[in-house]
Homo-oligomer: A and B are copies of this chain.
């Protein structure tokens, strides 16, 4: 007796209802990407291992899924490594390919490989699954979709302005109000590090400062001192402990705070350009806010940094993020191509929309009507109508078997099909169709044109 089958941990099956909801979110993101001039590319699910390894740090390398070479993969393996069971050292000789870990590195590889076909600036989007051998937990999976939009080949800050607008546009269309787009700049973080005189303490500093709401000014300062940041340094950035006001007021405060740091002031200037223009062009529903503790992927970004927080009523981490990177393609031998991009977190956005009950009722793939099967003649009569209705794009179906009518009605009900069409001797003789609305219970007798009009 076969065991009931299962799927690998951290992976998911998606039912028709789930696919419908996911596709709804993806289609909103896609159409906005295109509205903003981004074009889709797709890359292979697996890359040569050397393309991916070493790009995500040691932890990342560990989490990359490796694909075993085909055929007699041990033939050329080093016998000593096999005997000593040195898994780590053996891997590269028995596995040449690996599943992609994100969309950014494959994109950089794509740009370098196809540079002669691309006219820069290149605005691309990519919506594909990625795989990580992470420990599965609530909301974290081993296979999940990333939805990325990036521009490479231009340092223009108008790109950052547009990416903020793009976030705003997507979340407005999804009906999500109260989304906060947090912005920071890598150069401002460098400036702060300069001011506190401790570049190596920057992460300790931002991590501590981020706790201001939770543990208060005294708590934060205590933690900073414990981490080895001097009291005089902390004094110099005192304004950050009372960092309130509009985004433009905050920028002014930063401007005086970072007066001594050339790089910091450059960051302030960039931030001001972005915030000024976003403000003057106006956002629909989202709020733009400056968060000096925002430091995602510190070593990766070189300019603007973005992160999107869901509405405060939902307890959930960030639903999007991104930033400016000045040398992404350098790792593949094409230096000086600046890029900036953002990403949407599909799974979390799904959970937020589900929790706020914002999926439109029309998001479903269900047929409009089920024709009840009363036997071969009736089925043929029905199929003639079904064939014509489908040619007008109307989703209808015939119950395939002539079984008890109750069972057929139940099937429509369970599938959430709103109408059934009943064709018996009488209807056939009159060239009619009885259409029953399963929600109201109302039933009407119609000719084909009437039926078509009712189901369109």
Q: Which residues of A contact B (CB under 8 A)?
A: 1-8, 11-16, 19-20, 23, 31, 34-37, 39-48, 51, 62-63, 65-68, 70-75, 77, 79, 82-83, 85-88, 90-91, 94-97, 99, 109-110, 112-114, 117, 119, 121, 123-124, 129, 131, 133, 143, 151, 154-156, 158-159, 161-162, 165, 169, 277, 280-282, 331-333, 365-367, 373, 379-380, 383-384, 387, 390-391, 393-401, 410-411, 414-415
CB distance from A48 to the nearest CB of B (A): 6
**Does A41 lie within 8 Å of B16, measured CB to CB?**
yes
Cα distance, A154 to B113, chains bound together (Å) = 50
Given A13-B113, A280-B380: A34 and B74 within 8 A (CB)? no
In this complex, the member of A8, A94, A277 whose beta carbon has the largest number of chain B beta carbons within 10 angstroms is A8
CA distance A42 to B137 in the complex (A): 20
Tell me, in angstroms, the Cα distance from A145 to B413 when the chains sit together: 33
Contact B67 A380 (CB under 8 A): no
A322 CA to B35 CA, complexed, in Å: 39
Q: Report B-chain residues with C-beta under 8 Å of the C-beta of A86.
A: 74
Q: Is the CB of A4 within 8 A of B112?
A: yes
Q: How far is the CB of A144 from chain B (nearest CB, A)?
A: 11
Please, which residues of chain B bring their CB within 8 A of the CB of A387?
A: 165, 281-282
Q: Are B415 and A119 in contact (CB under 8 A)?
A: yes
A13 touches B39 (CB 8 A): no
Contact flag A39-B365 (CB < 8 Å), given A113-B4, A159-B400: yes
A202 to B34, CA, bound (A): 54
> Do residues A96 and B332 form an inter-chain contact, with CB atoms below 8 A?
no
Q: Verify A68–B95 contact, CB threshold 8 A.
A: yes
Known: A83-B82, A90-B74, A365-B34. A7 touches B44 (CB 8 A): yes
